[in-house]
Amino acid sequence: MTDSTFDVAICGAGPAGMALAALLARRGMAAHRIALIDARTLEQAGKDPRSIALSWGSRQILEDIGAWPVAATAIHQIHVSRRGQFGRSLIDRDEHKLPALGYVTRYGDLVTALGAACERAGIVMLRPARVQAINEGDDAVALALDAAGAARSLQAAIVAQAEGGLFSDQESKARRHDYQQTAIIAQVRASRPVEHRAYERFTGQGPLALLPQGDEYSLVWCVRPESAARLQGLDDEAFLAELGAAFGDRVGRFTHASPRLAFPLGLNADPRGTARTVAIGNAAQTLHPVAGQGLNLGLRDVTVLARLLAQGANPAMLAQFTELRRQDRDTTVRLTDTMARIFANDSPAQALLGLSLAAIDMIGPARGVLAELMMYGRR
């Protein structure tokens, strides 16, 4: 049994966990006092092909860490519309005098860049390793690990939980709202793609997003579970025909789809913590993908937490973090939850969306507020 002592132990080496570790070192915490724990090796995580959307504000955070540039497609415009209804809104980078509103990249490329930043900083990376138990005392938190089959224990003044899994299934279910929607994920190609334009299309069953990625689009199509099962059973030609019927012809005809994945959607937004433990990223809030705010909200968590813990890894700083992050978290959760609930079924509120989108497009300040929330969150 090996004992080690750290100022901060981070459970989960996804984007939020690695960003926190790298920012702590950049803010002045000794790298050998930071432990980053994950069940996967960096090489395994780097092969993850999933697409993720980064806001302009997230790019700024990654630049500060030294994890930018990564291979990514810039989003210059976001086109928001409602299927079968009048009205749409177009958010354009030129209005905000920015090179991009956001970016689309591969999860594997992002974690590879963040892993390199952590390695350059000299952060202690314990991977592959699984957390078996956490026991909080008055002065520190003890963690028991299974590191490649060998038992290891460590102590930390503060533990940051950056991935789901430390709560029981019963606790997780109690904190979750089921939207009765399933997200179908795939890479698709179209005959007339519009370069650097992302689409958010609201349908009677849920939002349908197309995010530009190279010469393809990353598709996130939210539908009812029974519709998802039917769509998953179709061959590619039939699936692409149904996608075209739902989305319309703004990018021409859909010509190719990668193998599809399906995930049930729910809200998990109870960022519980204790005097010496704190949840960030997906451990604090797992959001509906509408508006693509999950990772971006997590990275905003990271910037505040790193600034505070670099001043002192103690419970007082965690209490400040909770208070400072409350407004942005609450605003983003309410925004995504409200939109998801409206579009989980054919509610009367949907009839107002077309008029709302038209109004937003005609009123510059309203469009600006929407863009600011998507690019930076509530500040």
Pair 288, 177: CB distance under 8 Å = no
Q: How far is the C-alpha of 177 from the C-alpha of 335, rounded, in Å?
A: 15
d(CA 213, CA 218) in angstroms, rounded, equals 6
Going from N- to C-terminal start, the domains of the chain cover 3-48+109-171+267-339
Q: Digits of tens for pLDDT over the chain (379 positions)?
A: 345 899 999 999 999 999 999 999 999 999 999 999 999 999 999 999 889 999 888 999 999 999 999 999 999 999 988 766 555 678 889 988 889 999 999 999 999 999 999 999 999 999 999 999 999 999 999 999 998 778 899 999 999 999 754 333 433 443 455 667 898 999 999 999 999 999 988 888 888 999 999 999 999 999 999 999 999 999 999 999 999 999 999 999 999 999 999 988 876 666 678 999 999 988 877 766 665 567 888 899 999 999 999 999 999 999 999 999 888 877 877 777 676 666 555 555 544 454 444 444 444 444 444 555 554 444 4
Sign of the dihedral defined by the CA atoms of residues 245, 247, 250, 254, in that order: negative
SS3 content of the chain, % helix, strand, coil (to 5): 40, 30, 25
Q: 191: buried, middle or exposed (CB in 10 Å: 19+, 13-18, 0-12)?
A: exposed
Q: What is the rounded distance in angstroms from the CA atom of residue 28 to the CA atom of residue 307?
A: 9
How is residue 259 annotated by DSSP? Answer: P
3-48+109-171+267-339 belongs to which homologous superfamily? FAD/NAD(P)-binding domain (3.50.50.60)
Q: Tokens for 45, please give them.
A: 């995580």
Helix (H, G, I), strand (E, B) or coil at 338: helix
| 49 φ, ψ (degrees, to nearest 5) | -90, 0
Burial 95-110 (b: 16+ CB within 10 A, else e): ebebebbbbbbbbbbb
- 3-class secondary structure, 33: helix
Instruction: Specify the DSSP element, H or E, that contains 364.
Output: helix 364-376
Residues in Cβ contact with 53 at an 8 Å cutoff, skipping those fewer than 6 apart: 75, 102, 103, 104, 198, 211, 292, 295, 296
pTM of the model: 0.85
Structural contact between residues 69 and 101, judged by C-beta atoms closer than 8 angstroms: no
For 290-315, the DSSP string reads GGG-HHHHHHHHHHHHHHHHHH--SH
Q: Classify residue 231 by its DSSP letter.
A: H
| C-alpha of 315 from chain center | 26
